[in-house]
Amino acid sequence: MEDSVRPDRMPCSTTIALALAVVLMVGCNYSFQAGSFPPPHVRTLAIEPFENETERFEVSSELYDELVRTLPASLGVQSAGLDAADAVVRGTVTRYDVQAPNYRAGAGGQGAQVLQREVRIVIRVEIIDRVENVILWESSSESAQGLFAEGAPEEEGRRAAIELLVQAIVDGAQSNW
CA 75 remoteness from chain centre: 7
The pLDDT assigned to 9 comes to: 58
Cβ atoms < 10 Å from Cβ of 136: 19
pLDDT for 112: 65
| pLDDT score for 32 | 37
How many contiguous H segments (helices) and E segments (strands) does the chain have? 3, 6
The closest alpha carbon to 66, from 170, 173, 174, 177, belongs to 170
**Residue 116 belongs to what H/E stretch?**
strand 113-129
CA 1 to chain centre: 70
pLDDT the model gives residue 5: 52
**Predicted local distance difference test score (pLDDT) of residue 38:** 86
Q: What are the Cα distances from residue 131, in Å, to 55, 80, 93, 149?
A: 35, 14, 26, 46
Prediction pTM value: 0.74
First to last CA, the chain: 63
CA distance 49 to 169: 15
User: What is the spatial distance between Cα 20 and Cα 86, in angstroms, rounded to a whole number?
Assistant: 43
Strand partners, 93: 52, 123
- pLDDT value at position 100? 83
Does the structural domain 37-175 have CATH classification 3.40.190.10? no
Distance of alpha carbon 174 from its chain centroid, rounded? 6
Q: What is the DSSP string of 16-70?
A: HHHHHHHHHHHHHT----TT-SS-TT--EEEEPPPEE-SS-THHHHHHHHHHHHH
Q: Walk along the chain (177 residues) and give the pLDDT tens digit of each residue.
A: 555 555 555 565 665 655 555 544 544 443 333 456 789 999 999 999 999 999 999 999 999 999 999 999 999 999 999 999 999 999 999 999 998 876 666 667 777 666 788 999 999 999 999 999 999 999 999 999 999 988 899 999 999 999 999 999 999 998 865
Q: What is the pLDDT of residue 141?
A: 96
pLDDT, position 101: 72
The size of the chain, in residues, is: 177
